[in-house]
Amino acid sequence: MPLIIFDFDGTLVDSRALILECHRTVFTEFGLPVPAAQDSLALIGRSLELVLAELAGPDAPLLDMVATYGRVLPRLRADPAFAERPFEGIGALLLGLSRRSRTQLGIATGHTSKAVVPALTTLGWRDWFSTIQAADMAPSKPHPAMLLQAMAAAGVTAGEAVFIGDTSFDMQMAKAAGVRCVGVTWGYHTAEQLKEAGASEVVPTVGELQALLESSL
């Protein structure tokens, strides 16, 4: 039974507005300069504490900032102006895959489980995923632990799994786990970055991703 593991932000959902507003709110609350949008978006995929350390510096009150982010995120997510939006065609792709009796789906994300599970529930996707790996369960990407744990939970080998993501961190994680990795270009890193990080294939549209997966199943 093959396992298809997806990243969340930038792969399944467009979270630009939510992430940038979270950063703006948190940095403003602590009296810190708000990072440039391109700097914030370039780090998506890594665990929050590492992102904040990179953007604010190691001397910033990182633990307090992480706690504030956790408070701010649900409030902003409830606002339609900032809530994550599935990329066009993703919902149908996931639904079709979930109906395949011999296919399992998973998530491996830089979010914490307390952040990603409510998002999946709101989107109506929670029951489609047999394994959810998050930043509070393993070291940050590109460490391979999340994928190794996903495969163990699903009872599959690396040769029976594929990981789909939109950042170089995703591709590096998959390579370290020995898993085939597919990069998508509608997220936060370019096709060139994905290829340099070790993507097995790079696709520019959800339709081409669907065709690739169907040809592999």
**Residue by residue, what is the 3-state secondary structure of the chain?**
CCEEEECCECCCEECHHHHHHHHHHHHHHCCCCCCCHHHHHHCECECHHHHHHHHHCCCCCHHHHHHHHHHHHHHHHCCCCCCCEECCCHHHHHHHHHCCCCCEEEEECCCCHHHHHHHHHHHCCHHHCCEEECCCCCCCCCCCHHHHHHHHHHCCCHHHEEEEECCHHHHHHHHHHCCEEEEECCCCCCHHHHHHCCCCEEECCHHHHHHHHHHHC
Give the separation between CA 109 and CA 106, rounded to whole angstroms: 10
Q: Residue 1 has what pLDDT?
A: 65
For 30-58, b/e burial (b = at least 16 CB within 10 A) is eebeebeeeebbbbbbbbbebbbbebbee
Q: Catalytic: 9?
A: yes
For 111-149, b/e burial (b = at least 16 CB within 10 A) is bbeebbbebbeebebeebbbbbbbbeebebbbbbbbbbb
Give per-10-residue mean pLDDT for the chain (217 aa).
Answer: 93 96 97 95 90 93 95 94 96 96 95 93 96 94 97 96 97 97 96 96 97 89
Rg (CA), the chain: 17
Q: Residue 182 has what pLDDT?
A: 97
Half-sphere exposure of 51 (CA within 13 A, CB side): 28
Residues 6+ apart with CB under 8 A from 68: 26, 29, 30
Q: Catalytic: 7?
A: yes
User: Which is the catalytic residue, given 7, 64, 166, 170?
Assistant: 7
Q: Residue 89 has what pLDDT?
A: 97
Q: Give CA separation, 166 vs 13, 30, 154, 206, in Å.
A: 11, 30, 23, 12
Task: State how far Cα 94 lies from the chain centre.
Answer: 15
Find tokens 């039974």 and name the residue.
Answer: 1
Q: Residue 58 has what pLDDT?
A: 86
